[in-house]
Amino acid sequence: MRARTAEDFSARPMDVRWVAPGAKAIVCAYSASTSGTSGLRRLHVAPDFDLVAAADGAYAGWILENPADCVVQDEDPALLARLESLLTRVSALPPDPRHDAMRRWVLQVRVDWYGIAAVGSHVRQHASGDV
């Protein structure tokens, strides 16, 4: 497939940006299009993604629902190995509230980025000889 003519399809940046409470949606639009919202049309083009068109059909903005679902986190095995190493070293330190805070932070990073929760308790038990 080939276009008959070369055209620039870039759009200027949106000047209205809004995040719904709880970050349930992100809306970006041109301010000129939002003054009379009754003429706007919402066109569903993909799961959780809509384009907004003005009454005359001109592109007016977009709406992304559940934006957190679109965040892509590539797993980095090297980072995970460094987190495991750090967790092992912190777990081997003498008891201290600061060490516990560091350990909780490393465990939370693992949960947030890799969905790994159970392994942390195993590493602590192993480091303390309880396994």
- 105: pLDDT strictly greater than 60: yes
Given this model, what pLDDT does residue 63 score? Answer: 93
Given this model, what pLDDT does residue 45 score? Answer: 92
Given this model, what pLDDT does residue 10 score? Answer: 78
Phi, psi of 80 (to 5 degrees): -60, -40
What predicted TM-score, i.e. pTM, was given to this entire model?
Answer: 0.49
Domain ranges of the chain: 16-69, 77-128
Q: How many CB atoms lie within 10 A of CB 3?
A: 6
In whole angstroms, give the CA distance from residue 93 to residue 103: 10
**Strand, helix or coil at 29?**
strand
For the segment 79-99, the average pLDDT, to the nearest whole number, is 79
